[in-house]
Structure 1
Amino acid sequence: MEKRKITIIGAGMMGSALAFPAAENGHEVHIVGTCLDDEIIDGYLKTGKHEKFCRPFPENVSFHYFKEWEQVVEGSDFVIGGVSSFGVDWFLEEILTRLDPKIPVLSVTKGLRATDDGSLLSYPGYWMSELAKRGIVRDICAIGGPCTSYELVFMDPTEVGFCGKDNEALRMMKQAMQRPYYHISLTNDVIGLESAVALKNAYAMAVTLAVGLNIRWHGEEEPQHYNSQAGTFTQAVRETHALMLMQGGEFESECIGLGDLYVTIFSGRTRRCGVLMGKGLNYDQVTEALAGITLESLVITRIMGNAIRRKAELGLVDLRDFPLLMHIVDILDHGKSDSDIPWEAFTFEHLK
């Protein structure tokens, strides 16, 4: 395998986790913190380990403060963008406008941008459009799929997709990153894959709402009930499919997104949000209870809800086709913490 230089910009958990498969393949790996990551880089330099990871970083991973990024990135075969969705515009202005267009970029940032007509853009699509306005032409690839950072570090077998339009760059990045535990599919369906893994945020909250409702109704000591979770999951799949058709996504991307939905239901911040809302907390109470935790899923869900409402205003969709999404958006927007899930809206009659 050809040895490469890989620079990861953003010291969050997923960006940092991707250093492991890259370094284990013998590549030269650099993690550069954003302007908000100085304390994380301090810790990496001191201990060589992320506090939530089960293993220390491989020896061929080095750590740098943001002020060093332009020197560090020189000669990189590709850059991994590891910022959260709150850093999308920062990444555009501070990195993409100044990065050599010949260096491929692979983004881990999840989410969508809405336009005035309710269309939903992927972050790669948004970045490429904004760069084109400045006369900068580049393709931006992205990662999507069911992958939690700490389990990737644990080497639990993981299936993801890399998407983009530059086939040569995609194949190069796959060769650099794949490991016996990290399996990578390739697709040109950027909008499909990026939509699928963004949609899972809203629907993971919606499914775990049923967990919180069970606790509210029956108490903390009552075992989980799975009928209600299965009912919301079924509707989540139905609505995801409708939204993927609207986005023009492909079936394989939809499958990866449903895998991402599955893993998100069972772990992480989004699950905690859904459970708390089901227990009766409103938006402000959820954010207070999870103070200090980045709650991207809440922002992404609101963006999706507003986009679908706009499409409904234009007569392009029927809100009755998305009762689960609109229910979770109503909780976020209007604090409807005491309302039950709209179960009957999930039923249908397909008779001949």
Structure 2
Amino acid sequence: MAVITILGAGVMGSAMILPARDRGHEVRLVGTHLDQAIIDSAAKTGRHPRLNVKLPDGVKAFPYSDFAKALGNDTDLLILGVSSAGVGWAIERLCEALKDPVPVMMITKGLMPTDDTILPLPDFVHSEVKRRKGLALDLAAVGGPCIAGELAVRRQTGVVITSRTAGLAQKLCDMLATDYYHPRVSDDMEGVELCAAFKNFFAISVGWAQGQFEKAPKTENNAFNFNAASVIFDQAIAEMMVLARFLGGKDRSVWGMPGAGDLYVTCQAGRNSRLGRQLGLGLSYAEVKAGPMKDDTIEGAELGITLAPTLKRLMATGRLDAQSLPVTQALLTALTGNQKLDMPWDRLHRYT
């Protein structure tokens, strides 16, 4: 049995309790400063109010102020489950609480821009903790189609785990695999992390087709708009391939679970798809954030806004082929230029 500490009591971090406890590991759940109501509920009733499930017995819940206490000197694995917007906060907590290196598995999705490239988030966390604290952490990352609400009720789920530390990904697969949670090893940190982040971004464009459908006049045969959504979905895969190759990622991550698989489930529901629907209804991003999604954190939009200067610079200098990224450009224009999202149909699927 191992001791697993989870930092971040949101839906995904908390859903990881299920395979961990079902494998017999001790689990300590630590909330962020935004998770106090969840921690209180878990401590008093054993229920997670957002997942709407009773958590397995034996989970110990801690407020973020007790993170160091939860880690103790016996944590075998730290699962980082904060949102991408909270990764800076998480790095601060790691630097405050860690006395010795602890293996870290990141379910936080994101990418970090630099002047001339884009870093996988585990690499950024590693470099920051090393720079600030002098500790070299062994980090792994998870990608693939994993909806927290489904994992929380033990639905069949497949993911990949990748790490730059030899043997760590396989060790984590062995530690967490159950008859419903099926982790597999990947050696493609760049591709997995690119897909894990950009699937949220491109889900906005696929969701746009639903808004267009609702906005359009009804037809006599009550036709849907699945053709349009499918065309955009396929273009999104092609553009993820371009971006992954730029970072040195592998094609199989894009057409496999981290890319196509994760994009598929992300398009079914969630905040990124809902943003796309609102844009398809004709609202600008600013109007959506001022109105129907005022209080929502939309990770795909935040990623696009964060990476926009770097992506635009890479396209302007020719390091990224702008002609092969029409949906990327349309989304960046809508998210950063306060313009309505229009799909450049005549530029899609120009492979030759």
Pick the TM interval, shorter chain.
Answer: over 0.9
1:200-211 correspondence to structure 2 within 5 Å: 200-211=199-210
Deviation at 1:223, TM superposition (A): 5.0
Name the structure 2 match of 1:22. 20
Aligned residue pairs total 346
Partner of 1:176: 175
For 2:293, which of 290, 295, 299 is the aligned residue?
290
Paired amino acid for 2:268: F
CA distance in 2, matches of 1:121, 1:56: 37
Tell me if structure 2 keeps the 8 A contact 1:308–1:319.
Answer: no
TM-score, length basis structure 2: 0.93
Amino acid aligned to 1:265 = C
**Judging changes above 3 Å, is the alpha-carbon distance between structure 1 residues 70 and 347 closer, same or farther for their aligned structure 2 residues?**
closer
Q: SS at the partner of 1:167?
A: coil
- 1:267 corresponds in structure 2 to 269
CA contact (8 A) 1:144 1:194 kept: yes
Give the letter for the 1:174 counterpart.
C
In 2: Cα distance, 1:151 partner to 1:205 partner: 22
- AA aligned to 2:3 is K
How far, CA to CA, are the matches of 1:72 and 1:319 in structure 2?
Answer: 47
Q: Is the 8 A contact 2:201 2:301 kept in 1?
A: yes
Instruction: State whether residues 54 and 153 of structure 1, in contact with CA within 8 Å, keep that contact through their aligned partners in structure 2.
Output: no
Pair 1:139–1:349, CA change in 2 (3 A) = closer
Q: Match of 1:308, as an amino acid?
A: L
| Aligned equivalent of 2:248 | 248
2-structure distance, mates of 1:177, 1:31: 16
2:126 corresponding residue in structure 1: 128
CA contact 2:245–2:251 (8 Å) conserved in 1: no
State the distance in 1 between where 2:219 and 2:153 align.
30
Distance, in Å, in 2 between the alignment partners of 1:308 and 1:188 is 25
Counterpart position of 1:225: 225
* Aligned amino acid, residue 54 of structure 2: P
**Alignment equivalent of 2:46, drawn from 23, 35, 48:** 48
Cross-structure match for 1:236:
236
Distance 1:349 1:197, change over 3 A: closer
Once the two structures are TM-superposed, the CA of residue 300 in structure 1 deviates from its matched residue by 0.7
Q: The residue matched to 1:154 in structure 2 has which SS?
A: coil
- Is the aligned partner of 1:334 residue 2:337? yes
SS class of match (2:78):
strand
Once the two structures are TM-superposed, the CA of residue 267 in structure 1 deviates from its matched residue by: 1.3
Alpha-carbon distance in structure 2 between the residues aligned to 1:55 and 1:89: 29
User: Shift of residue 93 of structure 1?
Assistant: 1.5
Q: CA deviation at 1:120?
A: 1.0
The equivalences for 1:1-352 within 5 A come to: 3-53=1-51, 55-74=53-72, 75-96=74-95, 98-117=97-116, 119-134=117-132, 135-218=134-217, 224-254=224-254, 255=256, 256-287=258-289, 288-337=291-340, 340-348=342-350, 350=352
Kept in 2, the 8 Å contact 1:206–1:325? The answer is no
| AA at the equivalent of 2:178 | R
Residue 167 of structure 1 and its aligned partner are, at CA, apart by 3.2
Task: State the Cα RMSD in Å.
Answer: 1.9
Distance 2:49 2:218 in 1: 33
SS in 2 for 1:160: strand
1:114 Cα offset (Å): 0.6
The Cα offsets for residues 33-77 of structure 1, whole Å up to 9 and x where unpaired, read as 112221221122222111243531111212111121111112011
- 233-242 or 341-350, which moves further after superposition? 341-350
User: Kindly, what percent of the aligned residue pairs are identical?
Assistant: 33
Using the TM superposition, give the Cα deviation of residue 96 of structure 1 relative to its aligned residue in structure 2, in angstroms: 4.2
Structure 1 residues 206 and 334: CA distance shift in structure 2, 3 A: same
Q: Which amino acid aligns with 1:139?
A: D
2:2 partner letter? R
Relative to structure 1, the CA distance from residue 143 to residue 243 in structure 2 (aligned partners, 3 Å threshold; closer, same or farther) is: same
C-alpha separation in 2, matches of 1:264 and 1:7: 27
Residue by residue over 1:92-146, the C-alpha shift from the partner in whole angstroms, topping out at 9 and shown as x without a partner, is 12214642443101111111111112x1111111111223324322221111111
Mapped partners of 1:202, 1:53: distance in 2: 24
Q: Note if contact 1:54-1:154 (Cα within 8 Å) is conserved in structure 2.
A: no
Question: The residue matched to 1:80 in structure 2 has which SS?
Answer: strand
Structure 1 residue 302, shift from structure 2 partner = 2.1
Tell me if the contact between 2:330 and 2:342 (Cα under 8 Å) persists in the aligned partners. Answer: no
| 1:318 shift after superposition | 2.8
Kept in 2: contact 1:301–1:329 (CA 8 A): yes
Structure 1 length as normaliser, TM-score?
Answer: 0.93
Give the distance between the partners of 2:218 and 2:303, measured in 1 at CA.
30
- Give 3-state SS (helix, strand or coil) of 1:289's partner: coil
